[in-house]
Amino acid sequence: MIASLRLNCLGLERFALIHLLAFTLLALAGCEHKQTEEKYSPEYLAIKERFDQIDEEMTEEQVDAIMAGYRSFSVKEVTKFGGHGPPFKRISTRTKWYSEAAWTEWEYILHVYFDKDGYTVGKDIGALVK
Range 39-68 average pLDDT: 94
**pLDDT tens digit string along 1-41?**
554 444 444 454 554 444 434 444 444 444 444 445 568 88
Element (H, E) at 113: strand 106-114
Find the farthest-apart pair of alpha carbons in the chain and give their distance in angstroms, rounded.
Answer: 82
Residue with more model confidence, 36 or 61: 61
CATH topology of domain 41-129: Beta-lactamase Inhibitory Protein; Chain:B, domain 1 (3.30.1450)
What is this structure's pTM? 0.67
Question: Residue ranges per domain, the chain?
Answer: 1-39, 41-129
pLDDT of residue 82: 85
pLDDT at residue 97 greater than cutoff 90? yes
> What whole-number distance in Å separates Cα of residue 95 and Cα of residue 115?
9
Q: How far apart are CA 72 and CA 75, in angstroms?
A: 10
Tell me the H-state helices in the chain: 2-39, 42-53, 60-66
